[in-house]
Amino acid sequence: MSTESKLSFVIFKQKHGKSLSFSLSYFSLSLIVFSVVASIVALGTGIYYSFNANYRQSAYIALKQERNQQSDYIEELDEQFVQIKDQLTDLIEKEEQLELLLGKALVKKKGYGSRN
Split at pLDDT 50, 70, 90, the class of 7 is confident
DSSP string over 20-81: EEEEEEHHHHHHHHHHHHHHHHHHHHHHHHHHHHHHHHHHHHHHHHHHHHHHHHHHHHHHHH
Q: Break the chain into its structural domains and give their ranges.
A: 6-102
Split at pLDDT 50, 70, 90, the class of 108 is low
For the segment 29-51, the average pLDDT, to the nearest whole number, is: 94
Q: What is the pLDDT of residue 112?
A: 60
For the segment 35-53, the average pLDDT, to the nearest whole number, is: 94
pTM equals 0.47
pLDDT in tens, 50-71: 988 888 889 999 999 999 999 9
